Amino acid sequence: MLGIFYSSKDPEKFGKNCGEEKRTIPYVQLVIVLIGLGASFWTYLLHLQLKAQLGSPLICDVNETLNCSKIIGSAQGEFFNIPLGIWGMSYWLIGLSLVYFLKFSQASFRYIVFWRMLVSSVGFLFALVLIYISYFILNGICEFCSVVQACCILYFIASFISYKRMDKNSVYYALSLDFYKLVGSVVIAFIIPLMIFAATNTFLYEYYKKNIEQNSASKEGPIASQTSVLPLPFLDNEDVDFSLGDDNAPVDLIEFTDFECPFCQLLHEKLQELKPLIDKGMIKIYFRNWPLSYHQYATTLAIAARCAGWQNKFWEFANWSFKTAKQFAEDPKKKEKAFSDHGIISQAKLIKLNLVDFEACLQDPKMLAKIKKDSSDAALLGGEGTPFLLVNGIQYEGDWLNPDELKNDILKIINKKRKK
């Protein structure tokens, strides 16, 4: 049995050994539990935001290291296809039920302390595992995840202190009814977040997705609200950008993009519809990178694409990167597999790259320096998010989602040049 049960109808005969003088709410543990519950709920919302590919990052996406999205958006961000935030909510609701259990049962203080110690130990062990994964496998820190993990550790310490201070002569006591109350409260606490997940997952996902479509001027959406005349980025032989089209084309189109950005994927598809103008020598398209910090694989893909480019396979690799990121946008495990070191090398092999040269290129610090320079240039040129599109040095403000409108605007520029 999981407890020693006395069927006596008069538990008061156990006197002080039942811990009646300690039947108060442990407020320190209550605060820890509530903070852990709130942080877990927030990580769940962040998970949904990432799943929907909403452009604006949360405040916890500070840089490549302090990056909630990097951790929660990884394959380890789910367990049995359920976000860890939901599992965290279940855990803390169980903890909350144990905080208040003395108030609605006749179980002894020692009985409750035992269960708190058991539950807090499980949370402590899981916290250590998640800390290891975060710091040593994913090489990142999720601030809200860290709050949850810290709460698990503090909850364990508080429970351990209660256990050590407990009168060792006190009785481990609970009526059978108390045991059933405990099991019932644990089951309810466990199920409620799963029900919330089932009820809100689709709704909140659609809400975030709708937000993407409506907020076209968001950080990762089309930039259409500003007017700026910008100089063409300096392109020299040592800082070459991969391009398509005739060097003498009257129109230079420069795209700053992120392989994991959904709008960038869409722009890439739309630009391919301009191929007839490229083939006629009317447009030259330059590709520049602007990987956003909260996209886990964007920088790696940018470097790999440039390395493929040095073997004249840039566009093949870029097309694969965009297509794969879009295909697995809602499946982090498959996405992680595709964009792992092994997955990238497999793709390089598939498009017949020299793997020795390719792998050496991936380690060349000049590659990362070029990506950082692209990102810096985009910011200096007035870019506020991806995709950032320039037409002859002028930030494009038209509806690039409509290739006919973009084509007409380009033709207008060509006609003006011809008249001159």
- For 237-256, how does the pLDDT look when each residue is reduced to its tens digit (9 = 90+)? 345 678 888 888 888 889 99
Tell me what pLDDT residue 227 has: 32
Radius of gyration for the alpha carbons in the chain, expressed in angstroms and rounded = 29
Does the structure show a pLDDT above 50 at 217? no
Does the structure show a pLDDT above 90 at 152? yes
Whole-model pTM: value is: 0.50
Q: Fold for domain 237-419?
A: Glutaredoxin (3.40.30)
- Encode 138-158: b = buried (16+ Cβ within 10 Å), e = exposed: bebbbbbbbbbbbbbbbbbeb
Displacement of CA 284 from its chain's centroid (Å): 35
What's the whole-number average pLDDT of the chain? 77
Q: What percent of the chain has pLDDT over 90?
A: 18
**Pairing mode, strands 283-289 and 243-245:** antiparallel
Does the structure show a pLDDT above 60 at 136? yes
Q: How confident is the model at residue 178 (pLDDT cuts 50, 70, 90)?
A: low
Cβ proximity of 321 and 305 under 8 Å: yes
Compute the CA torsion angle 252, 257, 259, 265 (nearest 10 deg). Answer: -70
Give the bridge partners for 229, in sequence order: 394
Cβ proximity of 278 and 414 under 8 Å: no
Closest CA to 377 of 227, 236, 226, 221: 236
Tell me what pLDDT residue 308 has: 92
Q: How confident is the model at residue 154 (pLDDT cuts 50, 70, 90)?
A: very high
Dihedral sign, CA of 36, 41, 42, 46? Answer: positive
Q: How confident is the model at residue 108 (pLDDT cuts 50, 70, 90)?
A: confident
Tell me what pLDDT residue 245 has: 87
Regarding the domain with residue range 11-214, which homologous superfamily does it belong to in the CATH classification? Answer: VKOR domain (1.20.1440.130)
Q: How confident is the model at residue 234 (pLDDT cuts 50, 70, 90)?
A: very low
Distance CA 197, CA 140 (A): 26
In 3-state terms, what secondary structure has residue 9? coil
Q: How confident is the model at residue 347 (pLDDT cuts 50, 70, 90)?
A: very high
Helices (H), 215-313: 262-271, 275-279, 298-309
Residue range 209-234: mean pLDDT, rounded = 39
Tell me what pLDDT residue 239 has: 58
Q: What percent of the chain has pLDDT over 70?
A: 73
Tell me what pLDDT residue 134 has: 85
Distance CA 1, CA 22 (A): 26
Tell me what pLDDT residue 36 has: 92
Cβ proximity of 387 and 263 under 8 Å: yes
Distance CA 388, CA 378 (A): 8
Q: How far from 175 is each of 100, 111, 288, 294, CA to CA, in Å?
A: 17, 11, 70, 52
DSSP letter for 15, please.
G
Q: Which two tokens stand for residue 329?
A: 């946008």
If one compares 4 and 413, the residue with the highest pLDDT of the two is 413
Residue range 31-57: mean pLDDT, rounded = 77
- pLDDT tens-place string over residues 78-105: 777 788 888 888 899 888 888 877 677 6
- pLDDT tens-place string over residues 274-313: 888 888 888 899 999 988 877 889 999 999 999 999 898 9
Residue boundaries of the structural domains of the chain: 11-214, 237-419
